[in-house]
């Protein structure tokens, strides 16, 4: 299930207010591989344990937000900094 295009057009990062876009399948795979190995933490410091079905990434490529069953989880503490995983940041 993918995020509705109209919703995606109005969503933004709750911290930076930057627009977000869908994370590519290739980068999602890299992120999920790191999650599988226990190498990823969200902003709150908690280890991300479950792989992501889909994800949104900020325009500057610094933060990823989980999409669960087509619903973006746009909570600051649930954001995943991309500097933890090589090849995920877009810039």
CA nearest to 13, candidates 72, 58, 62, 55: 58
pTM for the whole thing? 0.92
Q: Encode pLDDT of 50-76 as tens digits.
A: 999 999 999 999 999 999 988 999 999
Burial class (CB in 10 A: 0-12, 13-18, 19+), 5: exposed
What average pLDDT does the segment 3-21 reach?
Answer: 90
- Find residue 58's DSSP bridge partners: 20
Per DSSP, the residues of 37-65 read TT--B-TTSPBP-SPPSEEEEETTS-EEE
Q: Encode pLDDT of 19-38 as tens digits.
A: 999 999 999 999 999 999 99
Q: Is the pLDDT of residue 90 over 80?
A: no
CA nearest to 12, candidates 70, 68, 79: 79
């Amino acid at each position: 299930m993918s995020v509705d295009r109209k919703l995606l057009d109005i969503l933004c990062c709750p911290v930076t207010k930057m627009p977000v876009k869908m994370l590519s399948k290739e980068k999602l795979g890299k992120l999920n591989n790191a999650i599988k190995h226990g190498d990823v933490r969200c902003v709150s410091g908690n280890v991300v344990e479950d792989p992501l079905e889909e994800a949104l990434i900020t325009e500057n490529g610094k933060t990823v937000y989980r999409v669960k069953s087509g619903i973006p989880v746009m909570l600051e503490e649930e954001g995943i900094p991309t500097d933890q995983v090589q090849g995920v940041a877009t810039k």
